[in-house]
Structure 1
Amino acid sequence: MRLPVSAHTDQPWRIHELTRDFRVEDVWAFRTPGAGPDDFPAMLAAMRAAGGPARQSAQFRFLWAARWKLGALFGWDKPEDGIAARVPSLRDRLPAGLRDDPGPESDEVPLTPVYELPAECARELANKTVHTVMHLGWSPAPNGDHELRMAVLVKPNGTFGRLYMAGIAPFRHLVVYPALTRQWERAWRDHGRAGREVPASVRDGEVTPVVGRRSVPPSLQALTSLPDFDYVDVFTIDTGANADATPERWARAMFGDVPSLAERFIWRGLLGLRLTRGRSADTVAGWRVTGRGEDWIRLAAASWFLSGNLVVRTTGGRTSLATFLRYERPVGRLAWRPLSAVHRRLVPGLLRDAAERIR
């Protein structure tokens, strides 16, 4: 889950005194149900056991490999542009006692340890584009547990560095951070500490997908306002302790009142959907509410080449999100085909995050 910058800057972490000349690019939270204030070292051990990019999805591995291929092609990652060459290490800003124990190296990720403390750690990377820091901190969560927070801080190398960071932002938000979320949260569950005071449906994060008209129940198909549709999928999660939440509450927990940067990039930028602006009781993340019942709500949006419905239904102790699309022009099919794979990877995380927020 993406957090505001203040979720990082308001914490009393050591990293602040080292990075006054850096800007906070992203702040992300990872769920660690049942975690206590002293479990940060256990979380780090679980993350190391989970491995690096080699154990990620094919999509993540492709982006990872493509980035380093481009770096080799354009000379972004030469040693003379790295730590202790183009820029000094942040370790030089630390007192001697802390500088001598930065934490273990990793052969799987190109990040150099800066320091490791009982509740936070930092790693850095420099190349021709940026000097960046990945900070991990252990923070109290709203539900009384503790959670892992990751902040990415950057110092771009001139105009090219700023353009580079802007160019990779959609890939970070749509692919990289969701992939890290799945890997690190699974690492915590596998570590065996997630079983305390957490409903099984939320803890396990089981989401059931079905794709295609023949697989979707007719009762759910009847809720779309499209006269016909070309694409449909449904993802369902057991609601457990969240069974009393309304469909609208689930919809807002998934998408928010206004669309996020990643949602605007896909919905407006790639699909051209005409979304309303601002918060309203008649919209969810810019989609118009065009129908509702006791156990369902329907959202609608359209572009010149595609019309869509999002239907959220809560029934039988389960919550489902159905996506219906109608291609108004042939380009609609061409636009959605590559995006559908990204969509199907993101929806399970949306449902699990919504379940956590509602809980």
Structure 2
Amino acid sequence: MPRNGIAEPDVDLEPSPRIEALDITPEILARSTLPDIQHTDAHLLHIDRAADRSAEQWARAIMEEVPAEVRTTLERAWQSIALRLTPGAPRTVAGWSIAHSGTDYVLLQAESALDFEGQLLFERRENTVLLATFVRYRDPAASTVWERALPSHLGFVRALLERVAQFE
């Protein structure tokens, strides 16, 4: 049975010392367009060739260039929190709308039918790729949904970054 009723990532990878959790800095927070953010997390992937791809290319590598079973697990997890995604639509990455982008960053956004919205920031730096999450509750009761999903979310983030690190 999945923990907290949310599907866990089904990825068999060794933890990588190349990935670290970060505190959100004012510079990272400034990239979000959400008002009243109630949750943030950030992870940094240390990778020598980070500059070889744009931020959007990194987002696609991390979220779209995955085996079918990983994609299915991601889609089930996103369905479990009722994210309104549009896979295959223009200006999307894995169904998440591209809210803003530049050469060094892309900000993805999705709304949930459960009264919260989230953004994923991918930022390419010289030898690292940052993945940050921002969540805003439109209704205070939505915090319960996100708190249930949070352990799985953090597991997915780490597993996806570990996966891309092994193949780069």
TM (normalized to structure 1)? 0.42
Greater relative contact order (Cα < 8 A, sep 6+): 2
The counterpart of 1:265, out of the listed 68, 73, 76, is: 76
Asked whether the equivalents of residues 83 and 112 of structure 2 are also in contact (C-alpha less than 8 Å), the reply is: yes
**Number of residues of Structure 1 aligned to a counterpart in Structure 2:** 162
Q: Distance in 2 between matches of 1:253 and 1:281?
A: 17
Deviation at 1:281, TM superposition (A): 4.3
Counterpart residue number, 2:109:
300
CA distance in 2, matches of 1:244, 1:281: 24
Separation in 2 of the partners of 1:312 and 1:319?
7
Judge conservation of contact 1:205–1:352 (CA < 8 Å) in 2.
no
Letter in 1 for 2:110: A
Corresponding position: 1:233 with 2:44:
no
Change (3 A) 1:206 1:257: closer
Displacement of 1:206: 2.1
Residues 257 and 238 of structure 1: CA distance in aligned 2, closer, same or farther (over 3 Å) = closer
Q: Which has the larger radius of gyration?
A: 1
Distance in 2 (CA, whole Å) between partners of 1:299 and 1:239 is: 22
What is the deviation of 1:337?
A: 0.6
Deviation at 1:253, TM superposition (A): 1.0
Deviation at residue 254 of structure 1 after TM alignment: 1.2
For 1:287-326, list aligned pairs within 5 A: 287-304=96-113, 305-326=115-136
CA–CA distance in structure 1, aligned partners of residues 156 and 75 of structure 2: 15
* Structure 2 CA distance for aligned equivalents of residues 238 and 281 of structure 1: 30
**What's the CA shift for 1:356?**
3.6
* TM-fit CA distance, 1:331: 2.6
For the aligned residues, what is the CA RMSD?
A: 2.5
> Is 1:328 the equivalent of 2:138?
yes
Counterpart secondary structure, 1:240 = coil
* Equivalent residues in 2 for 1:37-48, closer than 5 Å: none
3-state DSSP class of the match of 1:260?
helix
Please say if residues 121 and 131 of structure 2, whose CA atoms lie closer than 8 Å, have aligned partners that are also in contact.
yes
Alpha-carbon offset, residue 260 of structure 1: 2.2
Whichever residue aligns with residue 33 of structure 2, its letter is: S
Aligned match of 1:343: 153
Determine the C-alpha separation between the residues in 2 that align with 1:251 and 1:313. Answer: 9
TM-score relative to the length of structure 2: 0.84
Normalized per residue, the structure richer in helix is 1
Q: Which runs of 4+ in 1 moved over 3 A?
A: none
User: What is the identity, as a one-letter code, of the residue corresponding to 2:43?
Assistant: F
Once residues 352 and 205 of structure 1 are traced to their aligned partners in structure 2, the CA distance between those partners, rounded to angstroms, is 9
1:207–1:257 distance in 2 versus 1, CA, 3 Å: closer
Give 1:224's aligned residue.
Answer: 32
**Structure 1 residues without counterparts, runs of 5 or longer:** 1-62, 67-169, 187-203
Where does the alignment leave 5 or more consecutive residues of structure 2 unmatched? none
Per-residue CA deviations over 1:303-340 (Å, capped at 9, x if unaligned) read 24111100000113111100000011123100011211
* Code of the aligned partner of 1:313: E
Note the C-alpha offset of 1:267: 1.4
State percent identity of aligned pairs.
Answer: 28
Give the secondary structure class of the aligned counterpart of 1:254.
helix
CA distance in 2, matches of 1:273, 1:241: 32
1:280 Cα offset (Å): 3.9
Question: Is 1:207 equivalent to 2:3 in the alignment?
Answer: no
| 1:246 match | 54
* Counterpart secondary structure, 1:224: coil
1-structure distance, mates of 2:53, 2:165: 10
Report if the CA contact (8 A) 2:50-2:129 is conserved: no
